[in-house]
C-alpha cells in the first residue's frame, strides 16, 4: 500500500499481491516518479514574527517569517495564504511576508508552505495558522500626585497604558488653554523629546497651577493623548467645581465655586471663555439643557480671588441613524380641511 499527498490532494494506492510481478514493477516505478511532485516529508513549516510585542496595533508594520524545520541547505520558495480561502500559487524566494500599516481588515489566520524544486517540485504541508488580531492603539490614562501643592513642590506624573513593557516610550506634555478655539495646545516637556522608558515622570519645582497630558509610542505609531489632568497651586484658595468627563447635549449641569478648605461660596462671578455670564448671589451656575454652545473654558471669581480655567466638553448623542435619502413631508393639498402629506424620497 502506498500513501501519497500532493499539493492539491492525497490518495492511497493498494497493490494486489496476486498482481503480475512485471505489472507491479511498472506501476511501482510510475508511483515512485510521482513522489517528487508530492509531499516533502519531514519538512514542517512554521510561521514566526519578528515582533517582540504581544499585540499589533493599527498602522503598525508586522513581518511574518516562514521557517522550515529540517529544511537543510535546499533552495526553497515560499507561498502564503490567509484563512485558507485566499491561497495563492505564487511562490517567491523571500520567506518573509510584510503587513504594512495594519488595520483590522488584515485580521485572520496566516499559513505558509515551502516548495523545493524545480525541475520536479515538492511541497511541504501548510503550517499551523498564525492568528493575527489588529487592535486600535490604547488610550493612556494619566494620574498626577499631589493634586494640591505649595509653590516649589515636585509633581509625579504616571502614564498607564496596556502592556506597559511592550516596547512603549512615554512622552510628557503641558496642556495650555487656547481661547481662540476652546481647546488645548500641548507643549512637550523638557527631557521628554526622545521619550522615557519609564511610565512615570517628575516635574521639579512646580510653582503654578498647570495641566498635563501624556502619550506613548513605539516604532512608527503613537497612542492618542490622555485626558488632561491638573495640579492646583496654593496661589489659588479657590477652585471651580465642574464636570471631569464630557457631558451629553441636553443634560443638566451645575458648576460651583469653593475655597480649598471650605464649602461652596456665594456671590460668585462665573465666566465662559473669559466672558462674564452670571453675576448674582447664587452659589451655582446651573445649565438645565446643555448645548454645544456651552462648551468651553469656565472659571469663577469671588472676593477678588479667581480660579483657574477648566474645560467643559459637550458631546452630541445620535438618537437616530441618518438616512442617505431622508423622508421629507410635503403638503400637496387640502381635502375637507384635512392636510394630506406625501412622504417622498428626494
The DSSP line for 216-231 is: EEETTEEPPPPPPEEE
Q: Please tell me the predicted confidence (pLDDT) of residue 278.
A: 92
Terminal-residue alpha carbon distance, the chain? 72
Q: Which CATH number fits domain 45-135: 3.40.50.300, 2.60.40.10, 3.50.50.60, 3.40.50.720?
A: 2.60.40.10
Low-confidence stretches of the chain (pLDDT < 50) are 1-13, 15, 17, 25-26, 29-37, 320-346
Name the H helices within the chain: 21-34
CA atoms of 147 and 149, how far apart (whole Å): 7
Q: Please tell me the predicted confidence (pLDDT) of residue 321.
A: 46
Residues in the chain: 346
Q: Using an 8 Å Cβ cutoff, are 219 and 168 in contact?
A: no
CA atoms of 284 and 261, how far apart (whole Å): 18
**pTM to 2 decimal places:** 0.56
> In 3-state terms, what secondary structure has residue 134?
strand
Cite the residue boundaries of each domain of the chain with CATH code 2.60.40.10. 45-135, 138-235, 236-346
Q: Please tell me the predicted confidence (pLDDT) of residue 16.
A: 52
Of the candidates 183, 317, 322, the one whose C-alpha atom is nearest the C-alpha of residue 251 is 317
Q: Using an 8 Å Cβ cutoff, are 111 and 127 in contact?
A: yes
- Per the listing, cell 489566520 goes with 109
CATH 3.90.25.10 fits 138-235, yes or no: no
Q: Residue 222: beta bridge partners?
A: 217
CATH 3.10.20.30 fits 236-346, yes or no: no
- Per the listing, cell 504616571 goes with 158
CA atoms of 48 and 50, how far apart (whole Å): 7
CA atoms of 198 and 251, how far apart (whole Å): 40
Residue pLDDT, tens place only, 229-245? 888 766 557 788 888 78
Q: Using an 8 Å Cβ cutoff, are 339 and 329 in contact?
A: no
Amino acid at each position: 500500500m502506498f500513501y501519497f499527498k500532493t499539493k492539491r490532494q492525497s490518495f492511497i494506492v493498494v497493490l494486489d499481491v496476486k498482481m503480475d510481478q512485471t505489472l507491479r514493477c511498472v506501476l511501482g516505478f510510475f508511483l515512485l516518479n510521482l513522489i517528487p511532485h508530492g509531499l516533502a516529508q519531514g519538512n514542517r513549516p512554521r510561521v514566526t514574527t519578528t515582533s517582540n510585542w504581544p499585540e499589533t496595533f493599527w498602522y503598525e508594520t508586522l513581518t511574518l517569517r516562514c521557517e522550515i524545520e529540517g529544511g537543510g541547505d535546499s533552495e526553497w520558495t515560499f507561498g502564503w495564504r490567509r484563512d485558507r480561502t485566499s491561497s495563492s500559487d505564487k511562490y517567491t524566494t523571500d520567506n518573509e511576508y510584510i503587513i504594512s500599516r495594519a488595520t483590522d481588515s488584515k485580521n485572520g489566520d496566516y499559513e505558509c508552505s515551502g516548495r523545493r524544486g524545480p525541475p520536479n517540485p515538492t511541497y511541504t504541508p501548510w503550517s499551523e495558522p498564525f492568528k493575527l488580531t489588529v487592535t486600535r492603539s490604547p488610550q493612556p490614562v494619566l494620574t498626577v500626585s499631589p493634586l494640591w501643592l505649595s509653590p516649589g513642590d515636585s509633581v509625579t506624573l504616571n502614564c498607564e497604558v496596556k502592556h506597559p513593557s511592550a516596547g512603549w516610550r512615554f512622552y510628557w506634555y503641558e496642556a495650555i488653554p487656547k481661547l481662540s478655539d476652546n481647546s488645548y495646545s500641548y507643549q512637550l516637556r523638557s527631557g521628554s523629546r526622545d521619550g522615557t522608558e519609564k511610565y512615570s515622570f517628575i516635574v521639579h519645582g512646580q510653582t503654578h497651577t498647570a495641566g498635563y497630558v501624556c502619550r506613548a509610542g513605539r516604532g512608527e505609531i503613537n497612542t492618542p493623548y490622555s485626558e488632561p489632568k491638573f495640579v492646583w497651586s496654593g496661589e489659588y484658595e479657590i477652585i471651580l467645581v465642574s464636570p471631569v468627563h464630557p457631558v451629553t447635549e441636553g443634560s443638566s449641569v451645575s458648576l460651583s465655586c469653593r475655597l480649598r478648605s471650605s464649602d461652596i461660596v456665594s456671590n460668585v462671578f462665573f465666566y465662559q471663555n473669559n466672558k462674564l455670564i452670571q453675576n448674582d448671589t447664587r452659589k451655582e451656575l446651573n445649565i438645565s439643557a446643555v448645548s454645544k454652545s456651552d462648551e468651553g473654558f469656565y472659571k469663577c471669581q469671588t472676593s477678588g480671588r479667581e480660579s483657574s480655567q477648566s474645560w467643559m466638553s459637550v458631546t452630541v448623542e445620535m438618537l437616530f441613524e441618518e438616512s442617505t435619502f431622508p423622508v421629507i413631508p410635503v403638503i400637496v393639498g387640502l381635502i375637507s380641511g384635512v392636510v394630506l402629506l406625501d412622504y417622498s424620497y428626494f
